[in-house]
Structure 1
Amino acid sequence: MEQALENLSKEDLLKVIFSRDEKIDYLESQLAMYKRMQFGQKRERFEGDPDQTMLPFNTESAEVEQQQGEIKEKIEYVRKRPNHKGRAKLPAHLPVEEIEIHPEGDLSQMVCIGKEITEELECEPAKFYIKRYIRYKYAAKDKSAVAIAELPERVIDKGIPGASLLAMILTAKYMDHLPLYRQKQIFARENIQIASSTIEGWTKQALEKLEPLYEQLIFDTKTQGYLQVDETPIKVLDSEKKGATHQGYYWVYHAPLEGIVLFDYSPSRGGIAAVPMLGNFKGYLQTDGYGVYEKYGKKKEVTHLACWAHARREFEKALDNDKQRAEKALLMIQKLYDVERQIKDGELDVKQTKERRLAESLPVINELGKWMFEEIKNTLPKSQIGKAMAYAYARWDALSAYLYDGKLEIDNNLVENAIRPVALGRKNYLFAGSHEAAQRAAMIYSFFAICKKHEVNPFQWLKHTLGNIMSINHKNLKELYPQNFKKLADL
């Protein structure tokens, strides 16, 4: 063997050494993982360092000042149903039209002894109207000066649509998934003829007004200490190939502690697409098993969290392959979710949540790990049950990491829920017209997702935001976030 190595060139020898080093690193990591799975994890591992910074992390003041300066330059003046039985109660905030109905005939000899009230919910179609600004001019008697009031700031300078109409168009397209050509048909039924190109232009210009607020959202999302990340495809027309589409991706970032959702478009699903958001990220990063995230999860300043929902899905796929062992794994995973349900129902605080998990979830995780350690040795790697075990095995530390802090989630389901509207939209308008259009759509998807999380009416929020974003002070830009609009509406 030594003689064979001596006959190799220097370049080939380096390749052999490099290959051996890689194999040694791999075997050492495997040995460490086996030890953890065989002997179980200690509670102390998740107790945490008392000197460690707790969530949420704070942003450096210098970064905030820099961001405010950038935003200032950007802004321009061209610018439940609950579970119930029986009939649903009608909303108390709606106006009421009362219609009194008296019995027919002579009632002069009768006395009213009461009344019965029946209510029904009615509506009128969207009402279109013209808002006409009439500005009176005044002149000095000596004709030395003329005075006239300034027009209020408008969303589209010298344009026809008002904030309400633009908010309705965007909400219908991106929240209710109603393509613009269908909205044009609605206008036509009201005898309002608007060209398709005009509606498309309105949509583009309205979205462009949201750019400063979106850039502020990007900055605030980057500074979060806990992010969940996922990606979803979107087809985009390819300008270089007529009629062809390009497979682009929305990268979605969700900050559970603040209820922030950010959609970012990229033509690629490669790791470079996440660099702008995750390149300098520090904190807890929760993802599915996509390999791109492994690079970011291994950074010294990052604690990588995996998703138990994805691990569970792998074992669900194995039910037809090996029902007995798949069910055993699923039952243990279900115990972890039972603990989470108890935490939610009991409305436990962060400290209580961590204590409950360490007391009840950690033993289950250790039991599952020991069981897999024994079973995986006698399992075909290419079988579905083998793949399920390998998936969990390779991510064991990341699957257990949610025990570190009571603020952390057991899975990535919250960010997946934020992505669902995009899937519905794909079925209706099929593709984005360009890469730029896809990125503009990412802005409104972000804000509508935040509206949904904070139970804000997206139309009302957008109407308010479009009407105020041109004149608001850049330092107060965050006041236009949906969650802050909700506070304003509740006053």
Structure 2
Amino acid sequence: MNFETENDPEILRQAALLLERENQKLAKKIIELTRELLTLKGGDPEQLKLRIAELERQIASKNRMLFGEKSERRASDEESAPPAPPTPPKPPQKGHGPKAQPSLPIEEVPHVLDEADRVCSACGEMLDVWEGQFEQSEEVDVVPRRFVLKLHKRQKYRCRCGGCVETAPGPLKLFEGARYSIDFAIEVASEKYHDHAPLERQVRKMRREGLVVESQTLWDQIERLARLLAPGHEALVQYQLAQGVLGVDETRWPLLGKSEPSRWYAWSMVSTNAVAYRILDGRSTEEARKMLGGYKGVVMCDAYAVYKSLAKTEGFTLAHCWAHVRREFIEAEVSFPAEAKVVLDLIRGLYAVEAKCKPAPDGDEERLALRQAESKVLVERIRAFAETTNVVPKSRLDGAIQYMVGIWSGLTRFLSDPRITLDNNHTERAERGVVVGRKNHYGSRSRRGTEVAALFYSFIESAKLCGIDPKAYLRTATVAALRGERIPLPHEVAASPSGAS
């Protein structure tokens, strides 16, 4: 069975049940063999119990990761949070009330009485219109999307002298003789890379709405659009490489072939107002160099060894993510609740310090002062814990401490640089679109498909980060490209007086 491409829920459910049963058998066998091995080695009985207990907890933890719900929220976080101040009781309310819709256009729909109903029930005289008096109510309605076949008639003009003929200009086209409009191409791209609808699904939806079209035609539109916008994507990548701090991460992206899908990776670079993607055929140092080659700033990342290796040759500085450390100790908390709680509480204290500051860059000066005065003390306490705590070798707690110590210099770099955030969560959030898209259309079918996907995900996620409508931005960029102008980047459009809405 190919789990990468199988989409039948019942088949996947049966496969998961089989894997779970097999996993339980193997787990029991591992525990039995470990017990026999330690007994043969003549280990201390108490140490033997600790090792077996730790192994059982590790297996239980892995089972939860595979078959349970994932969450980083801890019950102790809610229990230890300070109680909220009492609020005065509110009067009982029926229902949830109407939700405000400030972005919807308002369309007034008048309602009048029929002529036969405009008769007074008391005297029989005709009723007069009461000027300015209405009973009003709101109703959210839907206007169905529709496709039209526009017949453009470009008027011709001539001079009586016979020496000049002029024709009115037509609409902008993606290419000479294009049958589909630029708005159609933008609609298809937005549906696929913003709303994650595969092209075949779009074909079925369009057919229900009256348009008969093939998926190849839709691909042709977005491929030509991507070709037009390619200089803007490259400019966005270069803009990111000029930033002082970048969040970097990578997530797998299948490239579907004739047999097994290959494991490509979507590499992301995230700054405060932009996201840039490249989809490359691996996650080695060579691919990382294609993404970060020439960068000299600060890279916020996880502990993946490729970044450390590349930093030595490229000359950028590494900063590491406290959220990843926190996750390690959450895993260890199952087996070592008291010890893990010490570190988790101190990490929560680091975030509490950050919450006191204004957002960057206005709060940078205050942030640096608070980090030196308060965060530094908390970091020293975490370090002391790591140096003085006795742990069972190769246990989950030992692994969490070793992970933290191994990236300590990157974890503490935020103390002296207010631009560096505590974690890389903003980069992981920017990857949600890629991950959802991967699940919906299973990656790309060609190398060119990966290039097109990287371009549109970069523009769409950047537009979302800047608070502008991705579809409106794509139109602004497309029109600029067709006119031979420089393609504005999303943060530039957001900063302009008109913006994109």
Question: What TM-score results when the alignment is normalised by the length of structure 1?
Answer: 0.75
Aligned equivalent of 1:452 = 464
1:199 shift after superposition:
1.5
1:185 shift after superposition:
1.1
Q: Deviations over 1:454-482 (max 9, x none)?
A: 111111111222223121334xx3xx222
1:296 shift after superposition:
3.0
1:299 shift after superposition:
5.5
Map 1:55-454 → 2, pairs under 5 A: 86-91=97-102, 94-100=105-111, 106=120, 108=127, 115-238=134-257, 242-256=258-272, 259-298=273-312, 301-344=315-358, 349-375=363-389, 378-454=390-466
Instruction: Note the residue ranges of structure 1 that are not aligned, 5 or more in a row.
Output: 1-84
1:96 shift after superposition:
1.8
- In structure 2, how many angstroms separate the alpha carbons of the residues matched to 1:488 and 1:460? 15
Judged with a 3 Å threshold, the aligned counterparts in structure 2 of structure 1 residues 166 and 111 are, in CA distance, closer, same or farther, namely closer
- In structure 1, how many angstroms separate the alpha carbons of the residues matched to 2:212 and 2:308? 53
- In structure 2, how many angstroms separate the alpha carbons of the residues matched to 1:348 and 1:368? 29
Aligned equivalent of 1:9 = none
Higher RCO (C-alpha 8 Å, min separation 6): 1
1:163 aligned partner, one-letter code = I
Alignment of 1:483 onto 2:491: yes
The DSSP-based 3-state class of the residue aligned with 2:247 is strand
1:222 shift after superposition:
1.6
1:365 shift after superposition:
0.4
Question: What TM-score results when the alignment is normalised by the length of structure 2?
Answer: 0.74
- In structure 2, how many angstroms separate the alpha carbons of the residues matched to 1:122 and 1:446? 33
**Contact 1:288–1:306 (CA<8 Å) still a contact in 2?**
yes
- In structure 1, how many angstroms separate the alpha carbons of the residues matched to 2:130 and 2:182? 53
1:97 shift after superposition:
2.2
1:210 aligned partner, one-letter code = L
- In structure 2, how many angstroms separate the alpha carbons of the residues matched to 1:321 and 1:92? 50
Q: Deviations over 1:44-94 (max 9, x none)?
A: xxxxxxxxxxxxxxxxxxxxxxxxxxxxxxxxxxxxxxxxx7432122551
The DSSP-based 3-state class of the residue aligned with 1:210 is helix
1:140 shift after superposition:
3.7
Map 1:32-43 → 2, pairs under 5 A: none
**Contact 2:268–2:427 (CA<8 Å) still a contact in 1?**
yes
2:106 aligned partner, one-letter code = P
1:176 aligned partner, one-letter code = D
1:411 aligned partner, one-letter code = D
- In structure 2, how many angstroms separate the alpha carbons of the residues matched to 1:449 and 1:109? 57
Judged with a 3 Å threshold, the aligned counterparts in structure 2 of structure 1 residues 301 and 248 are, in CA distance, closer, same or farther, namely closer
**Contact 2:277–2:454 (CA<8 Å) still a contact in 1?**
yes
1:99 aligned partner, one-letter code = P
**Contact 2:331–2:396 (CA<8 Å) still a contact in 1?**
yes
1:113 shift after superposition:
10
The DSSP-based 3-state class of the residue aligned with 1:228 is strand
Residue identity (%): 27
1:189 shift after superposition:
1.3
- In structure 2, how many angstroms separate the alpha carbons of the residues matched to 1:285 and 1:93? 41
Q: Deviations over 1:220-273 (max 9, x none)?
A: 1222221110000010023xxx232111001101122xx111101110110110
Judged with a 3 Å threshold, the aligned counterparts in structure 2 of structure 1 residues 467 and 113 are, in CA distance, closer, same or farther, namely closer
1:397 shift after superposition:
1.2
- In structure 1, how many angstroms separate the alpha carbons of the residues matched to 2:440 and 2:247? 27
- In structure 1, how many angstroms separate the alpha carbons of the residues matched to 2:108 and 2:346? 57
- In structure 1, how many angstroms separate the alpha carbons of the residues matched to 2:192 and 2:463? 15
2:196 aligned partner, one-letter code = H
Aligned equivalent of 2:484 = 472
How many residue pairs were aligned?
Answer: 396
**Contact 1:156–1:206 (CA<8 Å) still a contact in 2?**
no
Q: Say which is worse superposed, 335-344 or 393-402, in terms of deviation.
A: 335-344
Judged with a 3 Å threshold, the aligned counterparts in structure 2 of structure 1 residues 445 and 133 are, in CA distance, closer, same or farther, namely same
**Contact 1:432–1:438 (CA<8 Å) still a contact in 2?**
yes
1:413 shift after superposition:
0.6
**Contact 2:267–2:277 (CA<8 Å) still a contact in 1?**
yes
1:426 shift after superposition:
1.5
- In structure 2, how many angstroms separate the alpha carbons of the residues matched to 1:356 and 1:254? 25
Judged with a 3 Å threshold, the aligned counterparts in structure 2 of structure 1 residues 130 and 283 are, in CA distance, closer, same or farther, namely same
The DSSP-based 3-state class of the residue aligned with 2:473 is helix
Please give the root-mean-square deviation of Cα atoms over the aligned residues, in Å.
2.5
1:244 aligned partner, one-letter code = E
2:489 aligned partner, one-letter code = Y
Judged with a 3 Å threshold, the aligned counterparts in structure 2 of structure 1 residues 488 and 134 are, in CA distance, closer, same or farther, namely farther
Q: From 463, 475, 478, give the equivalent of 2:475.
A: 463
- In structure 2, how many angstroms separate the alpha carbons of the residues matched to 1:345 and 1:264? 29
Judged with a 3 Å threshold, the aligned counterparts in structure 2 of structure 1 residues 113 and 431 are, in CA distance, closer, same or farther, namely closer
